[in-house]
Amino acid sequence: MNTQGQTLYRLDGVEIDTSRFCLKRDGEERHLRQQTFQVLVYLLEQRERLVTRDELIDYVWRDTAVTDNALEQCLAEIRKVLGDDSRHPRFIKTIPRAGYRFIAKVEEVSAAAEATPRVSQNQDESQPVNAEVSQTRVWIRKRVVALVSVAIILIAAAGTTIYLIRQRRSLQSLSTVTLPQTAGKRAVAVMFFDNQSGSADLDWLREGLADMLITDLSRSQNLTILSRQQLRTLLDRTGHQSSERIQLEEALDIAQKSKATIVIMGSFARLGEQIRIDAQLHDARDGQLLAAERLVVDQQAQILTQVDMLSIKLASHLGAADQATNSGLTSVMTNNLAAYRYYSLGVEKAQEVRNPEAIALLEKAIALDPDFAMAYARIGYTYAVSWGRLEEGKPYLEKAFKLTDRLSEKDKLNIAAWYALANQDYAAAIRSYQEIVARYPLEVEAYRGLGRVLRGENRHDEAVEILKQGLVIDPGAKDLYNSLGGVYSQLGRHDEAIAMLQRYVKLAPEEPNAHDSLGIGYQWAGSYEDAIREYQLALTLKPDFEVSVIHLANTLFQQGRYREALREFQHYIEVAHSVPERARGYNGIAQILRNKGRLDDAERAARQAVANEKTSLGAVLVTALERDNLPAAEKLKSALEKIHHTARGGRGDSRELPYYQGLFELKSGHATEAIEKFKEALQYRAPTWNVDAYEDCLANAYLELGRPDEAIAEY
């Protein structure tokens, strides 16, 4: 029975009064949005059972078309107010791909029996700060942009509801993960192992042992192996909890969905100081036991060596006689179990773009094994490819090359691609990635890497095709959806971009970068409020996630909410992990101060940016032009022309230089040259990291030159 409107719930320092739509935590009132409060109360009412996502959406929003992220935002708000942690929940437990359940002990009493005076709710809605700019031409430009924006919004609004309904339907199901069926190769699915010892310090071996076997068996030319990421995707879709044992029936179902013909299951247990590891091979058609192997190691440090031997025995049962005895984990990775553990965790963090955490874990792996080639390579990759900090990444990649005897052939090709990117040799990087895709078609990471490089070379159609090929191999590869969404945004295909990025969020709802990427998609589609909600959700999941801080600051700036944007840029400078990032924050501050006519303050902020990163000279150049100081601006332009910009995994943003050259030509009275430079700038992809992407540079130039008709058409 629905008791909303008359019930008081008490739980662990929290009191929820449904009659007053009020929540108290430790005696302090906390107010939630109406829809968020409805979600919380419904979960409380139905706490004896699991509540599906669709059920919650239908109950709260009923016939209104919304994206699944509306629910995610409500849940994030609830967790924040309750002080809950989605990874170690005390109140709301997420059942992956299934739904949610309220798990805390709840005391339910009548609100009427404990009525208290009603407390008024104060609404605190921040209002945009209007920038007062004296120049008449700027006022005219804003009026033109506003008029055109209204027209665009009116056109787009008509299709919004239909679009959201279609997107929700399209996200109801995702394609399954299937292994390619190749003559002469057996398709194998290795399940996560069962921890029978009950020792929490060994829990990491559940996935760790499976990952070791996957790594070893993948080297066989006679086997096709389900990757760790693919297995996790399939388990998540069934609602499987990571701490639960995988039953044989569940394993067979996964095998059938992935087209695997053999299933490897296993368990481990601590016996005093020893650890026993058991592995069984099952026929995926009927579950028949085909073979079993057991090994006992005297101490944890011996696991890697022994697992190598175990994988050789399993390969023999699978008819994979080509499995070399000298190509195991200890020969091409490390013989230090703790180092391997840090390496595995570091790679996972790097994939989530949590770069500082990834590097810290990988550095621990190197400290334990100074010859751990792939740990060096992954640090180099994180710096040079994921972060765009080329000079910091090169030494690690060079160190990995020196340890070439500790690398597999596939690893060598990957490092060659990463090193080419660090040296801005994009043609060589493309060749390396293409060779990986040709020789190792299941290497999904290579599809993403190749797509990013092609995008940086403005070969967008090729990038789309290669990313789609990767999704054929693994339809659950979240990073490919992320990359594909970025390319679609670049092409102006915003509906397709948002659909891809929503899939990324669906596959990784607790990953801050997923929500940040969706925020970028919304931002570039002009849906600023949706973008802000996604950035805020990312920051709810990880408050110091600097990527979302800068994207939020940029979006607020683009809305003219300068005071809020300034606060976020200052926050970004505080949480930034490198000097180039701090420079980006100062650049944003300089831009705001210039727009407010505070040129002296703007120049100081711009020079602080340059002090952190020499590529930030553009901000000083713009200030010099505002002061009509052409000699100083010319020197700065010449310096900028000698700088090469970089980006994550590809060529850097090329739009900035012709933009600054165009500004200089315009100020110098060279109208034709200025127009040509601005047209050239717009041929390059937009710098999404920037506070200003210069999308309106050509229109502004037309307006400045007294050509309003052309300006309006361009706006």
Model confidence band, residue 431 (pLDDT cutoffs 50, 70, 90) = very high
Domain boundary among 332, 360, 385: 332
Residue 104 shares a structural domain with residue 221: no
Residue 94 shares a structural domain with residue 228: no
Residue for token pair 């009659």:
19
Residue 428 forms part of a structural domain: no
Is residue 376's pLDDT more than 90? yes
Give the pLDDT confidence score for residue 163 in this predicted structure. Answer: 35
Residue 300 forms part of a structural domain: yes
Report the percentage of the chain scoring pLDDT > 90. Answer: 25
Residue 103 shares a structural domain with residue 231: no
Residue 201 shares a structural domain with residue 289: yes
Residue 503 forms part of a structural domain: no
Say which CATH number the domain at 285 has: 3.40.50.10070
Domain count, the chain: 2
Residue 197 shares a structural domain with residue 323: yes
Residue 190 shares a structural domain with residue 310: yes
Residue 430 forms part of a structural domain: no
Tell me the per-residue pLDDT of 457-477, one tens digit each, with 9 for 90 and over. Answer: 889 999 999 999 988 877 778
Cα dihedral 474, 477, 482, 486, rounded to 10, equals -20
State mean pLDDT over 559-567.
91
Model confidence band, residue 323 (pLDDT cutoffs 50, 70, 90) = very low
End-to-end CA distance of the chain: 56
Quick one: tokens of 367?
A: 């400290």
Residue 685 forms part of a structural domain: no
Residue 192 shares a structural domain with residue 320: yes
Is residue 134's pLDDT more than 70? no
Residue 97 shares a structural domain with residue 218: no
- Residue 322 domain boundaries: 186-332
> Cα–Cα distance between 172 and 186 in angstroms, integer?
32
Strand order in the sheet with 28-30: 28-30, 22-25, 14-17, 7-11, 107-110
Domain boundary among 332, 347, 381: 332
Residue 21 shares a structural domain with residue 108: yes
Residue 107 shares a structural domain with residue 16: yes
Model confidence band, residue 177 (pLDDT cutoffs 50, 70, 90) = low
Domain boundary among 282, 314, 332: 332
> Cα–Cα distance between 177 and 170 in angstroms, integer?
17
Quick one: tokens of 387?
A: 């972060």
What secondary structure letter does DSSP report for 191? P
Residue 94 shares a structural domain with residue 210: no
Strand, coil or helix: 406:
helix
Give the pLDDT confidence score for residue 5 in this predicted structure. Answer: 46
The structure's pTM equals 0.58
Residue 510 forms part of a structural domain: no
Say which CATH number the domain at 65 has: 1.10.10.10
Strand, coil or helix: 15:
strand
Residue 235 shares a structural domain with residue 328: yes
Helices assigned H by DSSP within 293-408: 303-317, 329-332, 337-351, 355-368, 373-381, 390-402
Residue 337 forms part of a structural domain: no
Residue 692 forms part of a structural domain: no
